[in-house]
Structure 1
Amino acid sequence: MKRILSFFLFSIAFLNAFAQAPAGYYNAANGLTGASLKTALKGIITNGHLDKGYSGLWTAYYTTDRDNTSTYENDGTILDIYSENPIGPDLYNFNVGTNQCGTYSNEGDCYNREHIVPQSLFSSASPMVADIHFIRATDGKVNGMRSNYPFGKVGAATFLSKNGSKLGNSVSPGYGGTVFEPIDAFKGDVARMIFYFVTRYEDKLSTFTTGNMLGGSAFPGLQPWELQQLLQWNAMDPVSAAEIARNNASYTYQGNRNPFIDNPTYADLIWGAPVVDNQAPTAPTNLTTNTPTSNSISLSWTASTDNIGVTSYEIYVGSALKTSVSGTSTTATVTGLSPLTSYTFYVIAKDAFGNASPQSNIASGTTLDGPVGGGSCGTEDFNNVPGTDNGYFERVWTNNGITWTATNTKVDEPINTTRAITLRTGELTSSSIAGGIKSLTLTTQRKFSGSNGSLNVIINGNNVGTIPYTTTATTTTLDNLNISGDIIIKITSTTSNRPTLDDLSWTCYSGSLATSEIKKDKSEFTIYPNPVKNNELFVKGENLSKISKAEIYDLSGKVIETLANPFKNSNKINLKGLVKGSYILKTDNFSTKFIVE
């Protein structure tokens, strides 16, 4: 909920909610607690319930799911919990009726009917399939990504909607599967809709599939982990004026009410107060960097402790959140970095209740120079692709700091690993990747009817080659691509042959590693001799005296020596003290490798 209402105004709105229920509507529940109260409420909200049919929901949304309160924009558009921005302008809006789904590919295409309790759990039977109290008008794309997963607290997100709703691994205590997490403003809304469902249909729960969320009996009606998570959300996100308005409109349309909106304390009276944890984990300690490459640096640290348990670690580069890992991990590799660049890192521990630790110590590291011939710059095994279905949808996931989008894609046909992607006239696209690309390797196979063909490989919008696919699993490498700087990888299938892709990898490229390097103003710098003899390295080039700093690194990324104004009096650097080996010289204007014999 938007926190712009004062407690006083909220209280008035809360009292008004009661005023909308008929006199004596909840009398049968007075004085009851626990399972008896739940059953009494079931009787109350079953009486008067009119089943208007699944298609009737489109009509209902004209009054139930409109932004018509001061809680948000009050502009009459669809109030969508998956796209509403409670603290600023919405990124897009749906006009009621006009923007109904329909087909969709991206967020903002259309809205459809989102069963907060998936209809697959009750076989799309009536009256559940058309019950307005738990079926919201939401973005079609995000609804599809949510699929039939339960609601919970996400650790590492594999999908993030534009308003911050996310899909990923659960860090809710007691459950480790995939869950969907709405933004804080709508967590209580979701909880109270699910409480309604397990109360209204408590006598049917034993015949429903649990979906890792519902219970198999009338009481308590929910899986223990889900119940605790929803009780917490009900407490932390109070009823808003928008929820009250929706409850009233739903009552007018359907003839029954959601008692957990009219009186949120019913939840605690039935199931007890939620378990609350306000204790933050201790800070991670002993953070160190190691094993740098041209575009990655690995981290390790000593684990945090927590009274209940650490569920995740957030990895920050500078002050920006880069990635997160499971709370059982004490290592991570940060990818997508630029070659020969110094970075600072720190780590924060999180528990399942969202409590954050103090930050760890700050650790520094420097990436290596990007070699012409590569060394792996990145890999993608497709094991993080979301979904367990066999349908062709858009899939979005993040792995090793890179976000991938695959359109018209299914995920149930592995080649070498547990998962792969199959494209049906679709494309695989990366986010921007640092480090350049020299070669790209991909395993392909055609597993369905059709004909053999090839995939187009496009780097930064330019087609750089094709990769064939046949009925035999084949690994193909495109070499000598030789594109430096940031890149975007795109692989496209333009036919309906449905090739499967697995084990994508690429090597990095940052230009020539000869001793002649090019500075920004096109002036040339040359080092000699290379290998170095007699501990003296000479540099030739324009405006040497204006270079303010030179640094010498070993190939682990460790700074060996820093020199201020290195060429103020001569073009020579004294390397006395360096042992035999390979090093990197980095200055304001150029960087290059050299060897000491």
Structure 2
Amino acid sequence: MKKIILCTVIAGLANAQAPAGYYNSANGLTGAALKTALSSIITSGHQDKGYGGLWTGYKTTDIDKHYENDGSIMDIYSEKPTGTDPYKYTPGTNQCGTYSVEGNCYNREHIVPQSLFSEASPMVSDIHFIRATDGKVNGMRSNYPFGKVGSATFTSKNGSKLGSSSSSGYAGTVFEPIDEFKGDVARMIFYFVTRYQSKLSGFSSGNMLGNSAFPGLQTWELNVLMAWHNQDPVSATEISRNNASYTFQGNRNPFIDNPNYVAQIWGNAGPGNPDPGTPTNPGTNCVNETFETIPSASASSYSTRTWTGSGISWTATDSRTDQTINTKAITVRDGSLTSGSSANGIGSLTVTTQLKFSGSSGTFDVKVNGTTVGTIPYGTTAATTTINNINISGNVTVSLVNNSSSNRVAIDDLKWTCYSSAGKQAQKASISLDENAVGELKVYPNPISGQEIFVKGETSHIQKAEIFNLQGKTLQTVNSPFKNGNSIKIRNLEQGIYILKLDQSTLKFIVK
């Protein structure tokens, strides 16, 4: 499942790539001001394709590319992340229609019920919060708010539930998706109350929406969604859907592009008490370096630069200062960016990167106190990446080391959250990798550049190979993987970091 974090392998996937400068007007803002700025950004460019246009949109936005990867409809109410789906829908041919049981057809599920805004445009056809889902389950969910179910009166074939609320502050009927999609639902609702914040006063609340632009949600519902957002990080499925929705509709979901916006707008745990049984936000920002104080901000020569920002010292080797992403940035060639010592540890790290001039896509190694904890990809388009669950306490020094000796890469908006003991305990409770079992086995070259993994070492005895993403989802299984050589063919893995399990041995590899 997506929620299972592979312990001792700590790395992040690149978030969805918004155009360079897309969120510039939101830089430096927090709270209601940030929410208003994001509302303006995602309202601009929004093209209403009409309610009927959703069927067309779903052929690119709601296709299963990360579970079965079979071209069927990706339905959050029927998908079984670790098992066989109870039924599948073919895009364009299984549309509702009428239904009586699960598996009859799929229709258009408004995560924020359309009855709350009287089926008005453009809300009624906004693909960012309207999902292709099974008709029967959609009907059972009806217009109930989302929350934690105590006693279920209906359970779908993938485990989604309808029943009485056990969420603090609300005692009515609620609908609860499976853990795999709780964060997806939260970020869709955050999008809705941000995109349409100026209209909220005219909508019905449905026991979920607020009647003002800020905070935009009722307190109990905000607490539930904040907890779900933190519990279930952004997935590759959401990133793909956000990119496809941007192509289709012309705007983006900012809470997928930058999950930290949630805490920056509504706080780290939300007002009131968090949803029972779910984790709170792992920490507040300890460091937030914007590079506004770098010396000689228009220098095109390469040298070692030192400055003080965000309360600590910084050193960038083989660097220049004349390139920008969001106003000022530091550009590193054959060198690194290193922080001074920072107290309170590190939880998760976020940074924006962009390749400048010529060159090819690559990665930075991220090191904390000299130990590599993950990689940050870069390419020609500015992209923001988060590495979650680093969770190192005490004084920390953080370095970004360019793996290329010639690529010139701008770095901007580098920040990390403080260490959280709760986050560390969650990490300890996750799946452990047997590092000692790796022995002499090694993936080479690493990163891999094609759809084939070469393994160095004694492989003839290995009975099974499994490939996982960093959320613990099995992507591919191969029996007797090395009977014809020392390589494994892989299937359509996107850029990112993955785990290769060979019987009881585990290896990390990168797809660039």
Instruction: Sort the TM-score into its range (normalised by shorter chain).
Output: 0.5 to 0.7
1:16-35 correspondence runs (5 A): 18=15, 20-35=17-32
Residue 180 (structure 1) aligned to one of 168, 175, 183 = 175
Residues 50 and 255 of structure 1 are in contact (CA less than 8 Å); yes or no, is this contact kept in structure 2? yes
Corresponding residue number in structure 2 for 1:80: 75
Q: Percent identity?
A: 73
Alpha-carbon separation, structure 2, partners of 1:92 and 1:76? 13
1:268-279 correspondence runs (5 A): 268-274=263-269
Distance change (3 Å), C-alpha of 1:160 and 1:10: farther
Residue 254 (structure 2) aligned to one of 238, 256, 259 = 259
Residue 353 (structure 1) aligned to one of 269, 276, 285 = 276
Residue 158 (structure 2) aligned to one of 148, 154, 163 = 163
1:220 is aligned to 2:220? no
1:51 is aligned to 2:48? yes
Distance change (3 Å), C-alpha of 1:234 and 1:137: same
- State the secondary structure of the residue aligned to 2:128: helix
Residues 2 and 87 of structure 1 are in contact (CA less than 8 Å); yes or no, is this contact kept in structure 2? no
Q: Which runs of no fewer than 5 residues in structure 2 stay unpaired?
A: 279-512
Residues 10 and 241 of structure 1 are in contact (CA less than 8 Å); yes or no, is this contact kept in structure 2? no
Corresponding residue number in structure 1 for 2:130: 135
Residue identity opposite 1:255 in structure 2 = G
How far does residue 11 in structure 1 lie from its aligned partner after superposition? 4.9
How far does residue 47 in structure 1 lie from its aligned partner after superposition? 0.5
Q: CA deviation digits over 1:125-181, x for unaligned, max 9?
A: 000000000000000000000000000000000011010000001111000000000
Alpha-carbon separation, structure 2, partners of 1:126 and 1:213? 20
Distance change (3 Å), C-alpha of 1:32 and 1:169: same
Alpha-carbon separation, structure 2, partners of 1:94 and 1:10? 35
Distance change (3 Å), C-alpha of 1:217 and 1:54: same
Residues 82 and 138 of structure 1 are in contact (CA less than 8 Å); yes or no, is this contact kept in structure 2? yes
How far does residue 25 in structure 1 lie from its aligned partner after superposition? 0.3
Corresponding residue number in structure 2 for 1:542: none
Q: CA deviation digits over 1:468-516, x for unaligned, max 9?
A: xxxxxxxxxxxxxxxxxxxxxxxxxxxxxxxxxxxxxxxxxxxxxxxxx
Residue identity opposite 1:353 in structure 2 = P
Corresponding residue number in structure 2 for 1:229: 224
How far does residue 91 in structure 1 lie from its aligned partner after superposition? 1.1
Residue identity opposite 1:74 in structure 2 = N
How far does residue 20 in structure 1 lie from its aligned partner after superposition? 2.1
Residues 168 and 180 of structure 1 are in contact (CA less than 8 Å); yes or no, is this contact kept in structure 2? yes
Alpha-carbon separation, structure 2, partners of 1:50 and 1:10? 39
Residue identity opposite 2:30 in structure 1 = T
How far does residue 89 in structure 1 lie from its aligned partner after superposition? 1.1
Alpha-carbon separation, structure 2, partners of 1:201 and 1:141? 28
Corresponding residue number in structure 1 for 2:195: 200
Corresponding residue number in structure 2 for 1:303: none
Residue identity opposite 2:179 in structure 1 = D
Corresponding residue number in structure 1 for 2:337: none
1:319-334 correspondence runs (5 A): none
How far does residue 8 in structure 1 lie from its aligned partner after superposition? 9.9
Alpha-carbon separation, structure 2, partners of 1:66 and 1:124? 25
How far does residue 98 in structure 1 lie from its aligned partner after superposition? 1.0
Alpha-carbon separation, structure 2, partners of 1:115 and 1:9? 37
Residue identity opposite 1:29 in structure 2 = A
1:445-524 correspondence runs (5 A): none
Residue identity opposite 1:173 in structure 2 = S
How far does residue 19 in structure 1 lie from its aligned partner after superposition? 6.0
How far does residue 252 in structure 1 lie from its aligned partner after superposition? 0.2
Q: How many residues align?
A: 278
Residues 167 and 275 of structure 2 are in contact (CA less than 8 Å); yes or no, is this contact kept in structure 1? yes
Alpha-carbon separation, structure 1, partners of 2:42 and 2:207? 25
Residue identity opposite 1:98 in structure 2 = T
Distance change (3 Å), C-alpha of 1:7 and 1:257: farther
Alpha-carbon separation, structure 2, partners of 1:6 and 1:245? 22
- State the secondary structure of the residue aligned to 1:133: coil
Residues 2 and 72 of structure 1 are in contact (CA less than 8 Å); yes or no, is this contact kept in structure 2? no
- State the secondary structure of the residue aligned to 1:354: coil
How far does residue 12 in structure 1 lie from its aligned partner after superposition? 4.7
How far does residue 229 in structure 1 lie from its aligned partner after superposition? 0.5
Residue identity opposite 2:193 in structure 1 = V
Corresponding residue number in structure 2 for 1:61: 58
**TM-score using structure 2 length:** 0.52
Residue identity opposite 2:153 in structure 1 = T
1:116 is aligned to 2:111? yes
How far does residue 2 in structure 1 lie from its aligned partner after superposition? 2.6
Residue 94 (structure 2) aligned to one of 92, 99, 103 = 99
1:2 is aligned to 2:2? yes
How far does residue 7 in structure 1 lie from its aligned partner after superposition? 8.3
Residue 249 (structure 1) aligned to one of 236, 244, 248 = 244
Alpha-carbon separation, structure 2, partners of 1:228 and 1:174? 9
1:496-575 correspondence runs (5 A): none
Q: Which runs of no fewer than 5 residues in structure 1 stay unpaired?
A: 276-307, 310-350, 356-597
How far does residue 213 in structure 1 lie from its aligned partner after superposition? 0.2
After the TM superposition, which parts of structure 1 deviate over 4 Å for at least 4 consecutive aligned residues?
3-12
Residues 162 and 175 of structure 2 are in contact (CA less than 8 Å); yes or no, is this contact kept in structure 1? yes
Distance change (3 Å), C-alpha of 1:109 and 1:10: farther
